[in-house]
Amino acid sequence: MTQLTGRPILGAPGELGARPVLSALLTGVRTALLGLAVVTVPVLGLWVVTPFADDGAAGALRLASALWLLGHGAPVLRGSAGVPLSVAPLGLGLLAVGQLYRAAGRVAARGEGRPGGRGGVRAVWAGYCAVACAVVAQCAGAGEFRARVVADLAAVALVAGLAVAAGARRPGAAPVGAEALERALAGLPERVRPTGGAPVVRVAALAAGAGLLAAGGLVVAVAAVLTAVGGGAGSAVLAGGPAAVAGALLLTLVLLPNTVLWGTAYALGPGFAVGAGTVVSPVRTALGPVPEFPLFALLPEPGAGGWRLAVCVLPALAGVVPGLLLGRAASAGGGRAAGPVRPGGPWPVTATVVAALVSGLLVGAAAAGLGWLAGGALGAGRMAELGPVPWWTAPAAAGWVALVAAPVAVLARSRALRPAAGGPRGSWRAGASLVPGALTGTARRGALLLRARAYAAVTRLAGVPGTATDPATAAAQDTPGVPGGRAR
């Protein structure tokens, strides 16, 4: 009996040999159902506690299915007129991607070393897409929310495929795009090439992106505090009873990542739109009628920027940490810390600037993608434009990071190499000092001459007795390192 139920029989060919693939398929189905339950349970709970609900349980299930599809970036149609709705709640999207990433990682680890073990990862994707087909079919008929079958299935399949592929990567594998970045940097001329700097450039770009997101979160937090203190809008939601307040809070929670990205676009300068022909930026705010929703209550009053321009300091601060990282790497010849200089020597100043520019370009590309994901359409006509404009947000993010990180990196490189170059008299190209020693002595001598002449003029006007001293001679005597100056 032990031999019949033992482990060897599970490895036999035939139906039992296909069990790992079936298990992976069920893992994908379970992952999709778990994410769907996270949306469905609160929606059904709100439907139960809402008095005089217009729709039945079928309408609540359709709403939950539509929200699940929107979380994957799949557009849906609302109402009998087919109004497009494409604003993706990124909170639900992050939840779905995180679940798929972990599920694919577990299945890939179990299938490692087995023949056909990578097929389990594809089975996870297939199981997830099978549930998506059922959800789209449930939303395809007539109702308040209707799915666009082809577009919705393609969006869910794409998001699931990317998440599964990322989760199934082997431990220690190079990050996505790392080889392309290394080849791009290696193709630069030697005098502007940050040798071995691809890892540091990626880390600097991640640090800059995290700083910009923190700036956006700070903008949203300050706006929430000011709105709470000033008693802002949202009275219609509060008047709807506990169910309306709970629904608004849940929707606000899943839209919080979108709001942070909108705050980031605001801090960068271009801002975002809340309808066609509108703009919300530190320079000026021009708004029309907006829907009654708690997040829209955080919008600033229309008018010129004024003191709001101070938020532009936050992106500048976000570029300091990447500059310090690149400066330390430049002094170490591409290393991650400012330790002993490698035999190849530190990066040239131009290579350090190029590394900062490349980091800014990476941040700009990420800002364009995230800005596109955070926006969309909330209806037809004027509300068809909502969120940041990617082709404005991307250059603003890249420009802020590059303009701040480049000088900070050069200064950090110079400071790190100063002891190794023999003090402040070293050449600035070696990283010792940005000002040559002879130029420093000339500037000091000029300052001392000016001070001596001012002192002589004051004593002459005051009639102070004493022997007058030639200002040039006095300045030369007080200036070390110049002809006639005092020895060190």
Spell out the alpha helix ranges (H) of 418-436: none
Segment 223-244 mean pLDDT: 66
Give strand ranges (E) for 2-82.
76-78
> In this model, does residue 253 exceed pLDDT 80?
yes
Query: pLDDT tens for residues 451-468?
Result: 677 767 756 665 655 444
Is a pLDDT exceeding 80 seen at residue 430?
Answer: no
Q: Which of 252, 179, 312, 66 is closest to 58 using CA atoms?
A: 66
Residue 219 has a CB neighbour count (10 Å cut-off) of: 23
pLDDT band at 443 (very low <50, low <70, confident <90, very high): low
Q: What percent of the chain has pLDDT over 70?
A: 74
Count of CA atoms in the C-beta half-sphere (13 A) of 60: 18
Selection from 111, 145, 126 nearest residue 18 by Cα: 111
User: What's the DSSP call for residue 423?
Assistant: S
Residues of the chain above pLDDT 90, percent: 36
User: 360 to each of 30, 177, 486, how far by Cα in Å?
Assistant: 40, 16, 48
* Distance in angstroms (rounded) separating the CA atoms of residues 323 and 412: 8
Rounded to 10 degrees, the C-alpha dihedral 405/410/414/417 comes to: 80
Are 266 and 216 in contact, with CB atoms under 8 Å apart?
yes
What does DSSP say about strands 303-304 and 284-286: parallel, antiparallel, or unpaired?
antiparallel
Beta bridge partners of 284: 304
Mean pLDDT score of the chain, rounded to an integer? Answer: 79
Give the separation between CA 109 and CA 100, rounded to whole angstroms: 14
The reply to whether the predicted model has a pTM over 0.85 is no
Among 91-100, 221-230, 361-370, 470-479, which is the least confidently predicted range? 470-479
User: Using H for helix, E for strand and C for coil, what is the string for 158-215?
Assistant: HHHHHHHHHHCCCCCCCCCCHHHHHHHHHCCCHHHCCCCCHHHHHHHHHHHHHHHHHH
- Report yes or no: 345 and 205 within 8 Å, Cβ to Cβ: no
Q: What whole-number distance in Å separates Cα of residue 219 and Cα of residue 130?
A: 41
What are 102-140's pLDDT values in tens digits? 999 888 888 765 655 567 888 999 999 999 999 999 888
Confidence tier at 239 by pLDDT (50, 70, 90):
low
Beta bridge partners of 435: none
| CA-based radius of gyration for the chain | 31
Euclidean distance between the first and the last CA atom of the chain, given in angstroms as a whole number = 95
Question: Once rounded to an integer, what is the mean pLDDT over residues 248-252?
Answer: 81
Backbone phi, psi, residue 452, to 5°: -65, -40
Q: Considering only the C-alpha atoms of the chain, give the largest distance between any 2 of them, rounded to a whole number of Å.
A: 120
Tell me the per-residue pLDDT of 62-79, one tens digit each, with 9 for 90 and over. 889 999 999 999 999 888
pLDDT given for residue 434 in this prediction: 40
Question: With 90 as the cut, is the pLDDT of residue 213 above it?
Answer: yes
- Structure confidence at residue 252 (pLDDT): 84
Distance of alpha carbon 194 from the chain centroid = 24
Give the ranges where 72-110 is alpha helix by DSSP (H).
Answer: 90-110
147 near 136, Cβ under 8 Å?
yes
Span 269-310, pLDDT tens digits: 999 999 888 899 998 888 888 877 778 888 888 887 778 888
Element (H, E) at 274: strand 272-274
pLDDT score recorded for residue 9: 41
C-alpha span between 91 and 262 (Å, rounded): 14
For residue 364, what are the contacts with CB-CB under 8 A and spacing of at least 6?
Answer: 394, 395, 397, 398, 399, 401
* Structure tokens, 110: 């179990």
Q: Which of 130, 140, 135, 124 is nearest to 92 (CA)?
A: 135
Angle, CA 103 vertex, CA 101 and CA 109 arms, to 5° = 100
Beta bridge partners of 76: 85, 147
Q: Is residue 404 pLDDT above 90, yes or no?
A: yes
Distance between CA atoms of residues 247 and 259, nearest Å? 17
Q: How many C-beta neighbours within 10 Å does residue 402 have?
A: 22
